[in-house]
Amino acid sequence: MDDWFTVEKIDAQTFVISEYKHWEETHCYLLCGQEKALLIDTGLGVSNIRKTVDRLTELPVMAATTHIHWDHIGGHRYFDHIAVHELEKDWLAGKFPIPLQVVKNNLTKYPCDFPAEFELEAYRIFQGEPQRVLSDGDWLDLGDRRIRVVHTPGHSPGHCCFYEPDRGYLFSGDLIYKGCLDAFYPTTDPQLFYDSVKRVRTYEITRILPGHHQLNIPVSLIDEVESGFAQLERDGKLKQGSGLFEFENFQIHI
């Protein structure tokens, strides 16, 4: 059995599939409804996440993407039904903004006990045509379970969070987590990042389910991140090239 992935149950119909052995500590989320299942992100792609998903559900699965970065789309090749935001559709068609060698350097940045079948030389960034293009406010209906697409640009142009009103879950991707929040790439926008944080703060949230690192984080982290961005704005530092800023539970790199 593949032991690369760690599976934890959030509730009877929600699972988190994590890659704790890698420094990115990515989290992907499997949401099961009565008719369909939704996999939010597919991780690094160094091991076959589809095998793990198939052990958890027999439902047809759609892979929905928080954003088209290498550590969130690595396993997209194992799925026939992929959904991405309209602003990043072209990134799947050969216009990915980060060179393959840079991605490989990030992948191997720190020592890692990769799966036996993983070959760095053969690693590629997923390219393909999405079967569904998402827009802000779209609903993903799984059968007695509905998930809302919330466009939250800043970390990337088409970054999305996924919100489940009935449970109060916010699947926050790279918008909110305990770690370094990145808005320094050429394709990022610190002001939009701040605006997106302010937007999700208005939702009724009972649990944040982040894209990386510590899984159990308080909802109050949203307020903390908003306060951090507000401080940078007051100081005139909410612009790329300002540097790396340390806060109690996170960093902001712009």
Measured at the CA of 207, the angle between CA 151 and CA 198, to 5 degrees, comes to: 40
pLDDT single digits (tens) 7-61: 999 999 999 999 999 999 999 999 999 999 999 999 999 999 999 999 999 999 9
* Mean pLDDT value across residues 104-132: 95
Measured at the CA of 149, the angle between CA 146 and CA 150, to 5 degrees, comes to: 135
pLDDT single digits (tens) 172-218: 999 999 999 999 999 999 999 999 999 999 999 999 999 999 999 99
Bridge partners of residue 54, in order along the sequence: none
DSSP code of residue 176: S
Class for the domain spanning 6-177+202-217: alpha beta
pLDDT single digits (tens) 217-227: 999 999 999 99
DSSP code of residue 61: E
Structure tokens at 46: 């160094």
Q: What are phi and psi of 85, to 5 degrees?
A: -70, 150
- For residue 157, what is the enclosing H or E element? none
Measured at the CA of 67, the angle between CA 65 and CA 72, to 5 degrees, comes to: 70
Can you give the pTM of this predicted structure?
0.97
The pLDDT of residue 84 is 98
CA dihedral 84, 89, 93, 96 (to 10 degrees): -90
Q: How far is CA 79 from the centre of its chain?
A: 17
Beta-strand runs (E) in 155-212:
160-164, 169-173, 180-182, 207-210
